[in-house]
Structure formats: C-alpha cells, structure tokens
Structure 1
Amino acid sequence: MSTNETKKAQRTVKLGSAGPEVFALGLGCMGMSGMYGATDDAESVRTIQEAIDRGVTLLDTGDFYGMGHNELLVGRAIAGRRERVQVSVKFGALRGPDGSWSGVDTRPVAVKNFAAYSLKRLGVDVIDIYRPARLDPSVPIEDTIGAIADLVKAGYVRHIGLSEVGAETIRRAHRVHPIADLQIEYSLASRGPEDGIFPVLAELGISATLYGVLSRGLLTGSKPKGPGDFRAYLPRFTGSNQQKNEDAVSALQRFAHERGMTPGQLAIAWVLARQPAFVPLVGTKTRVQLEDALGALARPLSKEDVAALESLVTISGDRYASEQMKHLDSERR
C-alpha cells in the first residue's frame, strides 16, 4: 500500500468522549523488545518512524516490556516527531532480573513512581494515555485511577485508560475519572468482549484499543521461534490445539487468497468491519510487516465476507495459560 493509498484510506477514531483522535490503526510496540523472539533495534526504530510518516498516530508500549527497553526504543523513534504521536503506556507489572513475572503493583505511590521513570525513558513531558496493565487485587481501582487523575491535574498525563478489566471495574473506574479507552485482546480467535464488555463501553462513551488482532501471529501461520518466544507456552500454540488451529488457519489463508489479501490483512479487516468505532493495534516488528498491515485499510470486508469467515474459522484453546487466565479481571463472569 503506497503512501498515497494510505492517505486515501486514512480515517480517525476518537478514543472515548473526551479522548484524542487517532489514526484507524495503532502500532503495538511490545514485540520489538523480544517477546516474540529476536529483534533488531535499528529496524524497530525505522518501523516506528515509517508508521508515523504513513499517518499512524497511536503508539502503545509498557514500562515492563524488556524492563524499560521498549520505552527507550520508542523514545529514540519519536525524537523530533513527538507532536505527531500519542503515546499509550501500561504500567504496574513487576519483573525480576531474570525476566520473571512477580505480580502487579498499582498503589498510588507506585503509580507516580512508575510514571516518573516512563517520562524519563520516553523523553517526553507528558504521557498521552496512561493505564494499569492489569487489575491489582490488593488495591481498589478507585485508588489507582485517583492517583492517575492526580497526574492529569499536574500535567504529566493527558488521558486515562484501562487494560484487561471487566464490566464492573470499568464502571467503578469511570466514576472516578473519565476513561478514554479499554485495551483488551480481540480477534477472530478471541471474541469474548462482545457479550459483556463492549456494551458497557458503548453505554459509558468509552472506546477500545484492540491488541492481539492476529492472535499473536497464529492467524497468519506464524509459530514460536524458540524458548525465548513466550508463545511456546500458550495453549493455542501447543498440545492438541496446535493441529486443530493449523487446519483453521489453512482455511483462513485460502479465504484470504481468494480475495487477493494476505491472512494478516484479512484478520485486521475483520476487526475493522466488526468494531469500526475501536482501534486495532498491530504488533509489527518490521517495515515489511507494517506495509502488509496498512494494506488492510484499503480492503474492507463486506457483511457477507465477515459472516462467511466466522463460519469457516474456529480457533481452539485459551489465549493464556490457565494460571494467567485466573488473574484476568476481563475473563471473570
């Protein structure tokens, strides 16, 4: 998709009643810090800059991606381009020197500490959207959102977001301060939010940024690339689910080929067709992957295509291992 084609396809989406206007696709930067195998910092920086030059305005990162590496990378990439982007930052996840996960900390004092380090690593004066990465079971959501609201008043944060929380938590948070958007996994393989969460967002005037739209590469046929690739431990890529999903992905690939699309473009176009008021986050690591993702904007799906694809593709397995699923507030019924 050329730059001119991108401009023709360009449209914006407003994140919540009081949130910013952003390009129809956002760039998820997590994969640039080793979560899906080897990366190249120089190519990552060029990919972010190319995305900005092509009209992408929303960059999503987390202070725990690569233990700060991802924020430093984004900071390098946006230097001289700051006024053209909105940076969304997740915080609160705790990690050890060996990369292990140690829980979540969203106490008010921790919120302000995390923000201070993020501002420094990103090289910015204000974070556009700041959000706890997960619900902290030991801290009322009102306390966490109240602390971010203090940062808004002080000028260090512009908007408040949430990530992977359920309907009741969304309501409680929104009563403290307007929420711009909920970040949550959503794809042809992960449609859970449609029933209990998306209706609440519509009721409250909250948008959503949707990650995992390719189901971590599953929908494009990508496979784990060694022990450093955390997908090797996810149910959809292992055990009896693996072969079932490979068969489903083969069907998706044939469907895409018949319509002159790549599987990635088809998966993104499905999300755009299903949730036109929300913003898919595409986790590209290279300029080639970015080019492919942007091509989805020029290839919208018809209602008939959407229905046919949904009847054709069924994905087996949870999106996380059972222990992680227990801690997802968004999965509680």
Structure 2
Amino acid sequence: MQQRTIASFTVSAIGLGCMNLSHAYGTPPSAEQSERVLLAALDAGVTLFDTAALYGFGANETLVGKVLSKHRSSFTLASKGGMSGVHFDDGVKRVIDGRPEAIRKNCEDSLQRLQTDVIDLYYLHRWDKKVPIEDSVGAMAELVRVGKVRAIGLSEVSATTLRKAHAVHPIAAVQTEYSLWTRNPEIAVLEACRELGAAFVAFSPVARGFLCDALHDVGTLVPKDIRAAMPRFSPDNYAANLKLLPPYKALAEEAGCTPAQLALAWLLHKAPHIIPIPGTSSVAHLQEDLAAMDVRLDAGLLTRLDALISQGTVTGPRYSAQSASEVDTEEFGVSV
C-alpha cells in the first residue's frame, strides 16, 4: 500500500470517503453492507477514513464509530464540522454555521457519534462567510489545544482563505472536489497547499460516477440523488459530456486499467501531496479503486488525458448557483 502524508500522519495514498454509505446518492446501502465496505477497506490497508457531521445528519459518523471504533489505533480519522443538520418544523435541513460556539458543539457531538476521544483531522466543512475565517479557525485551534482534535483542515476554500487561516493555526489539509472534469484547484489552491506543506484531499475523484462509466441515463436519478440538481447532470449537458467517454475508455484500455482506476491514477501522478478519497458502497469497487495505486501512466498519455477532459471540454458548471454561493473555491474566468 503506497503512503502519503497529512501533518504527522502517514496514510494510504487512497483513502475512503464514507459519505456514500449514508448520504447524497439515493437510498443508502444496508447497515450490513456498509459494515462490509468499511471493514474491507481496513483489511486492504486503507488508513484514512473521511466522514462529516452533515452526512446523513449524523448517521455516517454513527456508522463509522460503531464499526471502526474498536480499530481506532489502526487508521487516521477525519471528520468535518461547521455544516450540519438542524431540525426545523418542516424537517432536517443543512445549515452552515462557523461561529466558534457552533464549531465546539459540532465537535463534541461528532466525538460522541464516532465513539472516540479525539479526531485526528477535523475540517471546517464550509467557510461561513458571515464569520471571519480567523474566528472559526481560532475555535478549531482551541480544540487542538485541549486535545479533542489533532490537526485541522478546510474544505472548499480559496488560496487566499487558506493563507489567512494558516496564519492563525497550521492547516494540515484542504479538501476540495478535484478530478479530470473539475480542475478548479489548479487555479491556485493546489499550489498554495504545496507551498504551505498542507495535503490536498480530493473528493469526488471519479467525477461522481461519470469517470467510472457508471451512469448512462440521468433520467434514472432518484430525487435524493444530489446529482439531479447539478448542472453537469442535466439531460442536455450530460448528453454532451457522454461524448467524452468513448475516447476516455480507450485511453483506460491503453493504460491497462479500468476507467475508475485511470481517474485515480491521474490524480496520484499529479503531485505527491494529493490524496484521493473515492467513495463506494461496493467491496468490489473498493478493491478496484485501490488497485489504481499500481497503475503507471506515461507523460504522453497524461497529456492526452488533460486535453480530452478538462474545464474546457466539460459542459456545465459543477454546482448550481445556490451551492456555488456556499463555497469559496476559485472559478475559471475570475481573477484571483
């Protein structure tokens, strides 16, 4: 198992994003199936498990705590606060709240659900733009000081925000969507992480299933599938994007790997501080993903990949206007 570094932690070069087991892509798998995936990942040598208070409104942390707490010393545990489910009269809704008191409460609640006394890597899930980033990070730094958190990270932030936060307390990792079809980190934050010594944790590294060749008809998406509200998955945009798949699959065949493995191998070849965290509800897919560490790509194939799928060839933005307003990442065509 190849290894990479986050702060003082040595972790597997590919981690496991646990969100899929409780959240975002329709009906979650059964508890038994989820347990099989988590334990299979641990048995295979995965040592970075990533969850969040938001996922399933606490259900994902509860699952991870129940299944993995007895193996706590065997892996690096990452979770996120600052965005969680809040109960209203008409149901549970996600709320971004970066106030210090909210971050402290989020962390306490997460510790209980995860059945642990310390979270190795604790992210601010979203920067609450009503609260100075320095205040939110200051609260997280206090969690480190009192021993409830070992290192802190940020999710979906710009290089400017990262540098402001890092001036308050060292930022161990930035987690942002990054794949062949989402290149925003290449504008500035990927390089800022390298300069500051922070790891870059890439979520949705197989483009929410697109680069797995797993979704051929967006009309089959169920209402609880977050992709149904994403512009790239609208019928017209997705029809255009599907035209990229045949030549992409041909490149995977040339590389001697599956489409999913090609997407992950591309990230691993990009820079040594990048750690992809694909998610899956299938043990077979988990094993397929981890085998991407053995894929070798030559410079010519990497160049052709970059030309085939990038911000210039993919149709549609990655987020709706509402979701885009909630993140702080750089955008192409906007000065930084």
Q: Same fold (TM over 0.5)?
A: yes
The equivalent of 2:268 in structure 1 is 272
The equivalent of 1:322 in structure 2 is 321
Whole-angstrom distance in 2 between the partners of 1:100 and 1:122 = 21
**Does 1:250 find its partner at 2:246?**
yes
The equivalent of 2:65 in structure 1 is 75
The equivalent of 1:286 in structure 2 is 282
**Does 1:103 find its partner at 2:102?**
no
The equivalent of 1:25 in structure 2 is 14
Q: Deviations over 1:128-155 (max 9, x none)?
A: 0111111101111111111111111111
Q: Deviations over 1:209-252 (max 9, x none)?
A: 11111111111223353112111111111142111111112221
State the TM-score, normalizing by the size of structure 2: 0.92
Whole-angstrom distance in 2 between the partners of 1:233 and 1:220 = 20
Aligned counterpart for 1:133 among listed residues 92, 100, 125:
125
Q: Secondary structure at the match of 2:261?
A: helix
Residue 227 of structure 2 contacts residue 233 of structure 2 at CA under 8 Å; is this kept in 1? Answer: yes
Shift of 1:326: 2.4
Q: Any stretches of 5+ residues in structure 2 without a counterpart? A: none
Whole-angstrom distance in 2 between the partners of 1:267 and 1:99 = 37
The equivalent of 1:56 in structure 2 is 46
Across the two proteins, how many residue pairs are aligned to each other?
A: 322
Shift of 1:312: 2.5
Q: Deviations over 1:246-275 (max 9, x none)?
A: 111222122212332111001111111112
Q: Deviations over 1:182-234 (max 9, x none)?
A: 00111000111112111211221111111111111111223353112111111
Shift of 1:96: 4.7
Aligned counterpart for 1:212 among listed residues 181, 189, 204:
204
Shift of 1:102: 4.4
| Greater Cα offset, 177-186 or 319-328 | 319-328
The equivalent of 1:43 in structure 2 is 33
Q: Deviations over 1:22-69 (max 9, x none)?
A: 110010001111311222221111111111111111100010100100
State the TM-score, normalizing by the size of structure 1: 0.92
Aligned counterpart for 1:66 among listed residues 56, 64, 69:
56
Whole-angstrom distance in 2 between the partners of 1:96 and 1:253 = 42
Q: Secondary structure at the match of 1:103?
A: strand
Q: Percent identity?
A: 40
Residue 177 of structure 2 contacts residue 205 of structure 2 at CA under 8 Å; is this kept in 1? Answer: yes
RMSD over equivalenced CA pairs, Å: 1.6
Whole-angstrom distance in 1 between the partners of 2:80 and 2:135 = 17
Q: Any stretches of 5+ residues in structure 1 without a counterpart? A: 1-9
Whole-angstrom distance in 2 between the partners of 1:94 and 1:273 = 34
**Match for 1:25: what amino acid?**
I
Residue 46 of structure 1 contacts residue 77 of structure 1 at CA under 8 Å; is this kept in 2? Answer: no
Q: Secondary structure at the match of 1:318?
A: coil
Shift of 1:100: 5.9
What aligned pairs does 1:163-242 form with structure 2 within 5 A after superposition?
163-223=155-215, 225-242=221-238
The equivalent of 1:4 in structure 2 is none
Q: Secondary structure at the match of 2:25?
A: coil
Residue 53 of structure 2 contacts residue 84 of structure 2 at CA under 8 Å; is this kept in 1? Answer: no
**Match for 1:236: what amino acid?**
R
CA gap of 1:328–1:122, structure 2 versus 1, over 3 A, is: same
**Does 1:13 find its partner at 2:4?**
yes
